[in-house]
Copies of this chain bind each other. A is one copy, B any other.
């Protein structure tokens, strides 16, 4: 993966325009081309230039017949003309050296007929030729809130204003993106950029993310994504975000079959498989939200920038019931509610009445009504307990000045610590609203129900773990690899590469395979068997017979020469009966390994993300129970180890039910080497299956028993 940081586009002209032209501007203040003008006129300090040949003046501003008539330089032109007039206008913009365009015009790739695709192609060609920065088409515009550059026709700015902040949103759906802004802003999130990316004929979500991730004024990035176009860039975006400790939270849609189909017709983005996106987001530290409310919940939590450095949660309530519900949810989301140290408890007991609880969950009881400082004092004590990594206070019906006092108290404590302190305020919006307002302003995350807080805390814990994990260096293979030889083997092999040749490829990477040779006749089989030593198995070796069992062309556990000779003849006969036209290379004589545990390693070369590696136990575990783990390459040692531990059947590998412990290190090593092979030959290998890889007890390694490689069609 080469860094593309040198190629990052400078989006300043479109992101921070000093002047904006509205081409096709309208006097109708509620129309697509009237609204942006109205919004800009409110407070934008830069130049505003309506363009429309039919008017001298629009909304009180001088109007120009053509963009070329605008006397000043134009950073951004919003174009809201019909598609048949668009390209002439664009050429004028290019002549005028307008630096960027926001095209709201629709009728491109989002329509199902051919015209759309033709227009999309024409636009792409224009962009390539001129190098112009283009947002859209079919977008609803671009907003820089601190600059008051509200270059959009979104109705949300009609009657409402939104707090400025350091959160940026990139959305492939205009309407949904702006709807999210209305929800997030009520939760106290302030935005800088609100970007509707439309069809992405020019600038893509990846471009915006690359820009934002290195933009010093952006502290958090939210995204609504139907599909990425150049998914590989996510890695670099992820590492840059990690360097800058800048959380990226993404709602990825188009995961269901119907959703994918709808996404295709909507913005014509590739949607990719949901399992792979999960994997990629996890590997790059991107926080994935499952719905709009989750996206906002994460934003509210992550902007506090305080993440738990362990899983120990202390719960403080004034209601026993609230504590129980909260403890349930904590466990559900993988947080722990540890017992408090005796010294912590005895300090709490000085504050809490006897009918309360100094155990975790801590219940200060209704006494809080008489002494609102109880929360503050209890939280301070809890924060000193080294096993407590985060504190949640659960309130219910507190209102009025009491609510305000509590909110300020809690915010004071939250400000004084590096551990996250959150509030769950379970009441209707009309209740305790002053207190809730104070928490939002003071950036103390506050949620209505326990699940939301626990989900966010769990995600913050995972994010902290991600930030803490050692810088992920790929493993180094000490086996010198003859890449030319491997390439030669691959090129000479048929499209579907059978066991014998596949193993030759694997061996080049130092992957342990069964001892085996091809015998052309029964005598050769016997002499190979002697060389191997111990019992052997015989299998037909033919590119035309892949289902060896079905062809009855496999025999196991052969010990004597006689057995081997008769097996050889039988296999050749059966193979001939099964497919008399099959090309037969001979019969594979293979060492017979017993015991151990069968596992599967697979590679699937995804069109968007490249090789994806898969691990699972053999047979029903993969096929029926779908108990597998996945990673996108490059695979790190930690990643490979996590892959093994992640499957539900992992206990079977480490001695559950009186079994022997299997050689986990050898699996990890094999996963890494298979990943290396798949990465080196990603242009050649479409699929690779090792099924089974036999894992032997600790220290005894693994052996590839069977494998198949399918080459990429060029």
Identify the A interface with B (CB < 8 A): 106-107, 110-111, 113, 154-156, 158-160, 171-180, 182-183, 185-186, 224, 226, 251, 253-259, 261-263, 265-267, 290-293, 318-325, 327-332, 337, 354-355, 357, 359-361, 363, 396-399, 426-431, 448-452, 619-620, 623-625, 627, 648-649, 651-652, 656-657
| A30 closest partner in B (C-beta) | B369
**When chains A and B are docked, how far (Å) is the Cα of A323 from the Cα of B177?**
13
Chain B residue numbers with a CB within 8 Å of A263 are 320, 324
In the complex, chain B residues whose CB is within 8 Å of the CB of A649: 620, 624-625
**Interface pair B293/A328, CB less than 8 Å apart:** no
A320/B111 in contact, CB under 8 A? no
| 10 further contact pairs, Cβ within 8 A, besides A175-B319, A176-B321, A619-B657 | A175-B322, A178-B397, A179-B427, A180-B426, A182-B430, A256-B330, A258-B337, A262-B359, A293-B452, A624-B656
Nearest residue, chain B, Cβ from A257: B331
Q: Do A657 and B624 touch across chains, with their CB atoms under 8 A apart?
A: yes
> Max chain B CB contacts within 10 Å: which of A110, A226, A327, A331?
A327
Shortest A225–chain B CB gap in Å is: 10
**This chain's copy number in the assembly:** 2
Interchain CB contact under 8 A, A258 and B175 = no
Given known contacts A620-B652, A657-B624, A182 and B291 CB-to-CB distance under 8 angstroms: no
Nearest Cβ distance between residue A209 and chain B, in whole angstroms? 18
Closest CB of chain B to A629's CB: distance in Å? 15
Q: How far is the CA of A156 from the CA of B178 in the complex (A)?
A: 34
Residues of B within 8 A of A361 (CB): 258, 262
Q: Which residues of B contact A319 (CB under 8 A)?
A: 173-176
Residues of B within 8 A of A256 (CB): 327-328, 330-332, 337
CB-nearest residue of chain B to A176: B321
In the complex, A579 Cα to B473 Cα: how many Å?
A: 56
Q: Nearest Cβ in chain B — how far from A662, in angstroms?
A: 14
Find the B residue at minimum CB distance from A113. B354
A361 to B176, CA, bound (A): 15
Residues of B contacting A175 in the complex (Cβ-Cβ under 8 angstroms): 318-319, 321-322, 396-397
The distance in angstroms between the C-alpha atoms of A354 and B107, with both chains bound, is: 10
> In the complex the two chains form, is A620's CB within 8 Å of B354's CB?
no
In whole angstroms, what is the CA distance A448 to B172 when docked?
20
Given the interface pairs A179-B397, A324-B226, A428-B183, the reply to whether A331 lies near B258 with Cβ below 8 Å is yes
A179 to B450, CA, bound (A): 13
Q: Give A679 to B186 CA distance when docked, in angstroms.
A: 56
B173 contacts A111, C-beta separation under 8 Å: no
> In whole angstroms, how far apart are the Cα atoms of A292 and B326 in the complex?
11
Q: In the complex the two chains form, is B426's CB within 8 Å of A354's CB?
A: no
Q: In the complex, what distance in Å separates the CA atom of A649 from the CA atom of B397? A: 47
With both chains docked as a complex, state the minimum distance between the C-beta of A128 and any C-beta of chain B, in angstroms. Answer: 25
CA–CA, A263 to B648, complex, Å? 31
For the complex, give the distance between the alpha carbons of A226 and B427 in Å: 20
In this complex, which of A171, A173, A328 has the most chain B Cβ atoms within 10 angstroms of its Cβ? A328
A and B contact pairs by CB, cutoff 8 A, 13 listed? A155-B397, A175-B319, A175-B322, A176-B325, A186-B428, A253-B324, A265-B357, A267-B320, A291-B325, A292-B325, A292-B426, A293-B451, A624-B651
Residues of B within 8 A of A651 (CB): 624
A177 to B251, CA, bound (A): 33
Q: Which residues of B contact A178 (CB under 8 A)?
A: 396-397
Q: A292-B448, A321-B173, A337-B258 are in contact. Are A431 and B156 (CB under 8 A)?
A: yes
A261 partner residues in chain B, CB cutoff 8 A: 359
Q: Assuming the A-B contacts A176-B396, A355-B111, A657-B624, are A224 and B321 also in contact, with contact meaning beta carbons closer than 8 angstroms in the complex?
A: yes
A182:B253 contact, CB within 8 angstroms: no
Give the nearest-CB partner of A226 in chain B. B324
Once bound together, how far apart are the Cα atoms of A482 and B175, in whole Å? 71
B224, B328, B398, B449: the one contacting A254 at CB < 8 Å is B328
Which of A185, A259, A321: most chain B CB closer than 10 A?
Answer: A321
How far apart are A297's CB and chain B's nearest CB, in angstroms? 11
Q: Are A182 and B290 in touch, CB under 8 angstroms? A: no
| A591 vs B124: C-alpha distance when bound (angstroms) | 77
Asked if A327 and B182 sit within 8 Å, CB to CB, the answer is no
- Are A325 and B293 closer than 8 Å at their CB atoms? no
Nearest neighbor of A107 in chain B, beta-carbon distance: B355
Of all chain B residues, the one with the shortest Cβ separation from A550 is B658
- A397 pairs with B182, CB closer than 8 A: yes
- B265, A179: Cβ atoms closer than 8 Å: no
A371 shortest CB reach to chain B, Å: 16
Task: List the B residue with the shortest CB-CB distance to A625.
Answer: B648
Closest to A454 in B: B291
Q: Are A327 and B291 in contact (CB under 8 A)?
A: no
Contact (Cβ within 8 A) A183 B293: no
A693 to chain B, nearest CB (A): 19
CB pair B623–A656 under 8 Å, yes or no, is yes
A329 touches which of B173, B291, B322 (Cβ 8 Å): B291
Question: Which one of A106, A251, A427 has the greatest number of beta carbons of chain B within 10 Å?
Answer: A427
